[in-house]
Homo-oligomer: A and B are copies of this chain.
Amino acid sequence: MYKAPIDDMTFALETLSQEMPHLAQSLPDAEMIDVILNEAGKLAGDVIAPLNHEADKKGGAVRQDDGSVKTPDGFADAFRQLAEGGWTSMEAQEAFGGQEMPLALSSCVNEMWQSSNMAFSLCHLLTQGLISALQHSASDEQKACFIPPMVEGRWTGTMNLTEPQAGTDLAAIKTKAVKQGDHYLISGQKIYITYGEHDMAENIVHLVLARTPDAPEGHKGISVFLVPKFLINDDGSLGERNDVHCVSIEKKLGIKGSPTAVLQYGDNGGAIGYLVGEENQGLAIMFGMMNHARFNVGLQGLALSDRALQQAISYAHTRTQGTPLLREAKTPIIHHPDVARLIGQMKAESEAMRALMIYGAALLDEAEEGDEAIRRRADFLIPIIKGWLTEQSLIMTSHNVQIHGGMGFIEETGAAQHYRDARILPIYEGTTAIQSNDLLFRKTIRDDGLEAKSFLAEIARDAQLASTHEDNVIQSLASQLITKTVEAETAIDSLLARQNQPRHIAASGVPYLMMLGTLSGAWMLLKQGIRAHKLAQQTGADTDRLNGKLSSLKLFAALTLPLVTSYAETVSLAGDATEALDVEALLH
């Protein structure tokens, strides 16, 4: 069972639209938003979600002896429905048949796909990433050839970065690309290729990082190529099979429905590939799409967290076990205070995460217009969104297992699947440590803390304004938030003061990221609380919304925001302690 959280999405969009004119202008009218979210919600709930657990139970995607990959029952049909409903065209530019919807809106829809069935929806997500990359960097001819079939959902796309020796460190890539006429011959092995082979589309377009023979070593010698599974004839029809083959798929902890392929290029002379951009510009092109890719993984963290929340609520409302304190016998377990605490924390954090996700989407869209301040804020927030939302998903899916008790450990309930699925999120598209390095060195130290402090100052200003709010809950969260921003600022100062000790502060990167994620979440909920209060006063009616939001503020203030203090203390202490660790002695 999955029910799209349309009300909360709409409220988050509206709340942020009040303060972000660009977002307000780019969104369709309220009625259209409603239609889009409801239609997507139906497809996600009725068609895509029911396939999720079944696919996992049956072991997921399977590679056949001929190298083809069979996706789980129903996946191909669901993908066809995604295409027929026009959902594969939401984000692309109109020139290629897309609808150019603002990211803040398409991301709400994407949350539904990922929430209902992450293993299935990864294919769509990656294809959107490829379309976006090509729109930015491909030649007109390449765009015209490759983008429309992906927008129509007839072809799908992949990212081919990782090799056995080159994961986080792309400089170590060895795959070769040798020029031959108007194309290149690609040879080598790529691993961890999500949907690198499958049966849901007519063709698969691989974006492949490789080196030309005379390329400089390291980062500067990487180029990027388009390598279709089937070559394309001049009339756009499919031609010969290209020399790229799936030699195995991985046995993974989670997202089993999604085939993770090892792809072998050029065993029969070389796979035909087409250079995107110029030679040796590969990493620049990849980095150009990194913000969106990382944002989308953060979104997946939110998506799984919300799915876990929904399952926890549903189970806790039906299961009876023991009599909750001061309640009647047979009262369901959601009335046990600790179950309520876990669910309350999940509710508040999911809402905070969703608002932050939408805020990030709005910033990414607006940044395209060239505003430098907006660009800085977007760049600053992306590692936080990726890191915090995905780390949160581990906690939330774990809470859901815990609420299920012994049943949570049995695969039948599906709670365990969400827990397993989530575990990839803080790893792929850059581990949390990579996000924290980006946040710390490129986004904090490089401008001497300017953006970090301006971000904090904005939170503190809002908190200051709200600290005299007439509503007690809002006022109380605001006061607490002021204290926490002061602690966070001290922590940032301690990082800035140790710039010349990069190893020391690097050890504080993840707690620093988590600290800012937590603060960001509180800030988002504060905005929502204030708006819910205002609306309730205006209409005198919507007290359910107000009560729900005030409850989230209270829960976040009690269960999540206190962590800022600990993170801040750790930020200042982690460097010395970590550097003092004798890692060689650990071997004895």
Contacts and interface: CB of A to CB of B under 8 A. Distances in A.
Interface of A: 162, 167-169, 171-172, 192, 250-254, 313, 317, 321-326, 334-341, 343-344, 347, 394, 398, 401-402, 405-406, 408-412, 416, 419-420, 423-424, 426-428, 431-433, 436-437, 502-504, 506-507, 509-510, 544, 547-548, 550-551, 554-555, 557-559, 562-567, 569-570, 573-583, 585-588
Given A558-B574, A569-B562, A582 B548 contact: yes
Given A321-B168, A337-B507, A577 B557 contact: yes
Contacts of A507: 337-338, 340-341
A433 B168 CA distance: 39
Contacts of A428: 406
B406 A162 contact: yes
A335 B326 CA distance: 54
Contact of A167 (B172, B405, B431, B575): B405
Nearest to A585: B548
A586 B405 contact: no
Q: Mostly helix, strand, loop or mixed at chain A's interface?
A: helix
Tell me how many chains of this kind the complex includes.
Answer: 2
Contacts of A581: 340, 343-344, 347, 551, 555
A551 B162 CA distance: 36
Contacts of A419: 253, 423
Contacts of A336: 433, 506
B433 A339 contact: yes
Given A317-B583, A338-B433, A565-B569, 17 more contacts: A168-B321, A251-B412, A252-B410, A252-B411, A253-B416, A313-B586, A337-B503, A337-B579, A340-B578, A340-B583, A341-B578, A343-B583, A401-B427, A402-B432, A409-B423, A558-B577, A559-B574
B573 A557 contact: yes
A402 B424 contact: no
Contact of A325 (B326, B503, B563): B503
22 contacts: A168-B405, A172-B321, A251-B411, A252-B410, A253-B401, A317-B583, A336-B506, A337-B575, A337-B579, A338-B510, A340-B583, A341-B510, A344-B577, A402-B431, A406-B428, A551-B580, A551-B582, A558-B570, A558-B576, A562-B567, A562-B573, A563-B566
